[in-house]
Structure 1
Amino acid sequence: MSTLFDTLCPMHARLGAHGHIVHAGPTLQRIHPEGDLRGRRFLELFEMRRPVKGHSMEALRAASGLPLRLRMRQPPGLALKGVLVALGPDSPVGPAGGALVNLSFAIALPEAVRAFDLTRADFAATDLAIEMLYLIEAKTMTMDALHKANMRLQGGKTEAEQKAFTDTLTGLGNRRLLERVATRLIAGERDFALLSLDLDFFKAVNYSLGHAAGDHVLRAAAQAMLEETRSDDTVLRFGGDEFVLILTGMTRRAEVDEFARRLIARLEAPIIHQGEA
């Protein structure tokens, strides 16, 4: 008889007349790994929430046939559902005055699987929990795939935006970025200074030394501007040898003039290309 119930109802317990467990199904025993449950009082392991009132075997038997709500007293304190059948004197499955209880994890199934490392073997073959586990696993895999696809899409979008607002030669922002940055600062009511700068005699470098030398000069000038500005500032290549600098929070004329003089002095320093200045 015990083998039959263990196969059909692995979460069942047979109780004696005083509420002690006479036999526990294999899955019920698995979620209480502290030892053999036989001889333990059922109500010491499970807290009855409803509809039972009281903590006696008589109160349990009075709930025969009614849906039960229980909670495990041991961590993680899972909520369970169950049904109890009171056993009479002629019952072939247990002692007179006892009861047969069958439990289910219900909506706590995913948490129970994680907490106790349950597998298909811990459930009856006809238990809908198996299908629910498959659905949960399929949902998890689908959500994971969607998340990864969304991350790739977002990454591609971010990369495309960065390319759209970046000057490929110098790595600075381009003229498209100017409106975006200025709009953001204005919307945030942040003060800023706007400087326009171009490189004198740059065309002569291109004509006399070639475009490779000209590109080198532009990259060196861009690096100098980045080193002279702060993290909150923005340096843009507007086109050709024209640059725009947005200096956040710098609005005093004397401060801006001092910055401009320092930057011009830095840019007037010789730039070495292939061993020549």
Structure 2
Amino acid sequence: MSGGTPCYKMLDVLCPMHVVLDQSGKIGFAGPTAKKLLPGRSLVGLGFLDIFEIKRPHAIETFEALRQKTGMKLHLRFRDPPHRELKGVLMEGPETGQVIVNLSFGISVADAVRDYKLTSADFAATDLTIEMLYLVEAKSAAMEASRQLNVRLQGARVEAEAQALTDTLTGLKNRRAMDQALEGLVASGESFAAMLIDLDYFKAVNDTLGHAAGDFVLGQVASIMLRETRTRDTVARVGGDEFVLLLREIDDASQAERIARRIINLLSEPMIFEGARCKISASAGTAMSRDYKIVSADQMLVDADLALYQSKKNGRGRHTFYAADLLQPPAEEPAPEIGAPASKQA
């Protein structure tokens, strides 16, 4: 039995998933797609009924019984795992005693295409499976395009949300982000400190050296504050030269004092912008959550602002903790609110 004859070349094109059986029921030739059904093994030389179990029609145990089913639709499956089920039709071959069985995957073709890594070249050109493969490929391409679009949209959404919570000049958190973080800390019940820091003499930098110098100073201030706090803390710019630090898991006032003192000392050092000295200082006020029976975000900010006012009143460049005996600012010089410039000399 030769697969090189015109007859078998024709079968390779018209029904590439066929096998040719000899008089004993052994496979003498397999089409190009049929050869892929047993990865790593050759079908040629194997008994057809040794490989396949005939499910319908029933009671087919011998090749002679199979030969009697010429023209009938067969339901069969591999005897070995994974027992893939196939459809088939059997016809007499051109040579004496030959039987040709044309196989197909039926409705499981999509799984078979995936498992055997088949392409449109593995099916007859007129096989409807070709159309299905085109549809599957189109669907896969559409799903991949949709997935990539969703990834881009998700990335754009995340970026937009990050921008909405970021101060564009310094890269610090903005007022909105600070409010969210503060509410989260209050809800969590953990001990924390809310520290307000206001720059002293910052207006003089803008007035004498210009806004470019002022922007430079704000960038330096942001860098110092980030460096002197921990990654789990929140550092936010909430006004022109006003900042809020939310220091997490702090129950000891001395920890907050050390952080405030380091920042104040560093900010008192002159900053050089294009050869010019930018001289500022900083005042700070802190409220500790441990000092409240019921912690309120708004009240802590008000009290920290009062402590900040006291630092300015006492000469600037210093840090004060809120205490109940702190004097309220006089009516003609009200304590600054978060987001509005604090009272200062310049």
TM (norm. structure 1) is: 0.80
Give the paired residue count: 269
| Higher deviation after alignment, 28-37 or 260-269 | 28-37
The amino acid that maps onto 2:26 is H
Separation of aligned partners in 2, 1:132 and 1:102: 20
Give how far 1:204 is off. Answer: 1.9
Offset of residue 121 of structure 1? 3.1
- Alpha-carbon separation, structure 2, partners of 1:260 and 1:43: 86
Conservation of the 8 A alpha-carbon contact between 1:174 and 1:238: yes
The question of whether the paired residues in 1 share the 8 Å contact of 2:192 and 2:249 is answered with yes
Compute the displacement of 1:226 (Å).
Answer: 0.6
- For residues 65 and 274 of structure 2, the distance between their equivalents in structure 1, rounded to whole angstroms, comes to 93
Looking at structure 1, the residues matched to 223 and 65 of structure 2 have their Cα atoms a distance apart, in angstroms, of: 80
Indicate the residue corresponding to 2:201 in structure 1: 201
List alignment gaps of at least 5 residues for structure 2: 1-6, 278-346
CA distance in 1, matches of 2:259, 2:275: 30
Pairing 1:90-169 to 2, within 5 Å after superposition = 91-92=92-93, 100-106=100-106, 109-110=109-110, 112-113=112-113, 118-169=118-169
Query: 1:258 — aligned with what?
Result: 258
Q: Does 1:275 align with 2:275?
A: yes
Contact kept in structure 2, 1:52 and 1:59, CA below 8 Å: no
SS at match of 1:142: helix
Pairing partner for 1:20 from 26, 31, 37: 26
User: Do the aligned partners of 2:234 and 2:246 also contact (CA within 8 Å) in 1?
Assistant: yes
**2:200 aligned counterpart, secondary structure:** coil
Q: What is the letter of the counterpart of residue 79 of structure 1?
A: R
Distance 2:186 2:67 in 1: 73
Q: Who is 1:79 aligned against?
A: 84
Counterpart secondary structure, 2:127: coil
Q: Check if 1:227 corresponds to 2:233.
A: no
Q: Does the aligned pair in 2 maintain the 1:78–1:108 contact within 8 Å? A: no
The answer for the alignment partner of 1:211 in structure 2 is 211
User: What is the percentage of aligned positions where both structures have the same residue?
Assistant: 42
Q: Is this contact kept in 1: 2:196–2:242, CA < 8 A?
A: yes
**Maintained 8 Å contact 1:10/1:26:** yes
Q: Secondary structure at the match of 2:230?
A: coil
How far apart are residue 133 of structure 1 and its match? 0.7
Tell me, in whole angstroms, the C-alpha distance in 1 between the residues paired with 2:248 and 2:54: 63
1:68-111 CA deviation, whole Å, 9 max, x = no partner? Answer: 2424859xx583422354x7xxx455765x75433223455455
Shift of 1:270: 2.0
Letter paired with 2:12: D
Distance in 2, matches of 1:224 and 1:238, equals 16
2:25 partner letter = G
Which structure has the larger Rg over C-alpha atoms?
Answer: 2
Amino acid of the residue matched to residue 226 of structure 1? L
The equivalences for 1:51-66 within 5 A come to 56-57=61-62, 61=66, 64=69, 65=72
CA contact (8 A) 1:217 1:271 kept: yes
Q: CA RMSD in A?
A: 3.4
Q: Corresponding residue for 2:310? A: none
Q: 1:8 aligns with which of 14, 27, 34?
A: 14
Aligned amino acid, residue 70 of structure 1: R
Partners of 1:234 and 1:247 within 8 A in 2: yes
Q: Is the 8 A contact 2:88 2:104 kept in 1?
A: no
Distance 1:16 1:198, change over 3 A: same
Q: Counterparts of 2:265 and 2:52 in 1: how far apart (Å)?
A: 80
Q: Quote the offset at 1:52 in angstroms.
A: 8.3
